[in-house]
């Protein structure tokens, strides 16, 4: 997403878990003549035809059907792709990025041997098992991402909480997150195999759900402050209603009709 923003081009994203079946290939390049929907074109070919300069993201490529790999071979080798209607689509100005969780489980396992914190080369071995040599040879680079450090996870926690506070802004509710609570959420919401994805569920379970009823019928119905802390190893929420207006000085004199 950041790359497409910097380049000023469109980003096309495809979730490859939706293309696990053999017939799903026709959704990318269109159905053959004589089949239903052959005149509609393919999602991939039409998308690139409309945005010839773009960043193409294929998310979780390892879940795609092997026939999808054959399509990608044509793109990476010749820079073009021919759909089922015989139309050639130019991919020469497309940046192709594929993500994969191949090797993530192996990397998360404890390494054997002194002084080895990580299983060196496990990610490369997993890619070699998953993809054919002709496919790997057409990749310009393979980049492995290390597990997120604690400081980065805390930044992700802060981002999620700020997003929640922005959603509650129209209800005049603000959130105050203690350092201990941020570290608690970081520990519970991060997994080396899944990354920071579980964090959204942890915040949903421990913050959003308890606040839902209070926002409708409780202390926060008219706004207020939510203080998030930790007590005896558990996340606790302290709710404060809206501050009462203070009157300073003497009461104004009553107006009387002459």
Clarify whether residues 90 and 158 are in a common domain. no
Q: Give the pLDDT confidence score for residue 246 in this predicted structure.
A: 47
CATH of the domain at 164: 1.10.8.60
Query: Quick one: average pLDDT of 179-204?
Result: 88
What domain range is 52 assigned to? Answer: 2-99
pLDDT tens digits for range 53-76: 999 999 999 999 999 998 999 999
Clarify whether residues 82 and 155 are in a common domain. no
Clarify whether residues 93 and 173 are in a common domain. no
Asked if residue 6 is part of any domain, the answer here is: yes
Asked if residue 144 is part of any domain, the answer here is: no
CATH of the domain at 9: 3.40.50.300
3-class secondary structure for the chain? CHHHHHHCCEEEEEEHHHHCCHHHHHHHHCCCCCCCCHHHCCHHHHHHHHCCCEEEEEECHHHCCHHHHHHHHHHHHHCEEECCCCCEEECCCEEEEECCCCCHHHHHCCCCCCCCCCCCCHHHHHHHHHCCHHHHCCCCCCCCCCCCCHHHHHHHHHHHHHHHHHHCHHHCEEEEECHHHHHHHHHHHCECCCECCHHHHHHHHHHHHHHHHHHHHCCCECEEEEEEEEECCEEEEEEECCCCCCCCCCCCCCCCCC
Query: Quick one: average pLDDT of 238-244?
Result: 78
Q: Give the pLDDT confidence score for residue 184 in this predicted structure.
A: 95
Question: For the chain, what percent of residues have pLDDT higher than 90?
Answer: 50
Long-range Cβ pairs for the range 74-78 (8 Å, 24+): 76/138, 76/139, 77/138
Clarify whether residues 76 and 160 are in a common domain. no
Q: Give the pLDDT confidence score for residue 112 in this predicted structure.
A: 44
Number of structural domains the chain divides into: 2
Selected residue with higher pLDDT from 216 and 174: 174
Asked if residue 105 is part of any domain, the answer here is: no
Selected residue with higher pLDDT from 225 and 108: 225
The answer to which of 10-19, 31-40, 142-151 has the lowest mean pLDDT is 31-40
Q: Give the pLDDT confidence score for residue 130 in this predicted structure.
A: 85
Q: Give the pLDDT confidence score for residue 205 in this predicted structure.
A: 93
Q: Give the pLDDT confidence score for residue 233 in this predicted structure.
A: 92
Q: Give the pLDDT confidence score for residue 253 in this predicted structure.
A: 54
Asked if residue 140 is part of any domain, the answer here is: no
Residue where a domain stops, chosen among 36, 67, 99 = 99
pLDDT tens digits for range 74-95: 999 999 998 887 889 999 999 9
Asked if residue 28 is part of any domain, the answer here is: yes
Asked if residue 143 is part of any domain, the answer here is: no
Asked if residue 170 is part of any domain, the answer here is: yes
Which pTM value belongs to this model?
0.68
Asked if residue 110 is part of any domain, the answer here is: no
Residue where a domain stops, chosen among 60, 84, 99 = 99
Clarify whether residues 166 and 78 are in a common domain. no
CB atoms within 10 A of CB 22: 11
Clarify whether residues 8 and 95 are in a common domain. yes
On the question of pLDDT at 181 being above 90, the answer is yes
Q: Give the pLDDT confidence score for residue 116 in this predicted structure.
A: 45
pLDDT tens digits for range 124-172: 787 888 888 999 999 999 888 878 888 999 999 999 999 999 999 988 9
Q: Give the pLDDT confidence score for residue 129 in this predicted structure.
A: 85
On the question of pLDDT at 37 being above 70, the answer is no
On the question of pLDDT at 250 being above 70, the answer is no
The answer to which of 12-26, 111-125, 131-145, 203-217 has the lowest mean pLDDT is 111-125
Q: Give the pLDDT confidence score for residue 192 in this predicted structure.
A: 74
Clarify whether residues 82 and 156 are in a common domain. no
Query: Quick one: average pLDDT of 247-254?
Result: 51
């Amino acid at each position: 997403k950041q790359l497409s923003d910097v380049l000023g081009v469109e980003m096309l994203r495809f979730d490859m878990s939706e293309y696990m079946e053999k017939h799903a290939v026709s959704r990318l390049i269109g159905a053959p003549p004589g089949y239903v929907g052959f005149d509609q074109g393919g999602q991939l070919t039409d998308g690139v035809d409309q945005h010839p300069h773009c960043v193409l993201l294929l998310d979780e490529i390892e879940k795609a059907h092997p026939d999808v790999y054959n399509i990608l071979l044509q793109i990476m080798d010749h820079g073009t792709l021919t759909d089922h209607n015989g139309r050639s689509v130019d991919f020469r100005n497309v940046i192709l990025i594929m993500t994969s969780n191949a090797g993530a489980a192996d990397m998360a396992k404890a390494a054997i041997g002194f002084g080895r914190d990580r299983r060196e080369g496990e990610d490369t071995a997993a890619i070699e098992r998953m993809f054919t040599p002709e496919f790997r040879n057409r990749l310009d680079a393979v980049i492995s991402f290390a597990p997120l450090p604690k400081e980065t996870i805390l930044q992700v926690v802060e981002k999620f909480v700020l997003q929640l506070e922005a959603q509650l802004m129209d209800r005049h509710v603000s959130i105050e997150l203690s350092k201990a609570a941020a570290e608690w959420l970081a520990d519970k919401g991060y997994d080396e195999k899944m990354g920071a994805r579980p964090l959204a569920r942890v915040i949903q379970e421990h913050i959003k759900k308890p606040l839902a009823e209070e926002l409708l019928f409780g202390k926060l119905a008219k706004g207020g402050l939510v203080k998030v802390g930790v007590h005896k190893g558990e996340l606790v929420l302290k709710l404060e209603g809206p501050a009462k207006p203070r009157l300073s000085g003497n009461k104004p004199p009553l107006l009387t009709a002459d």
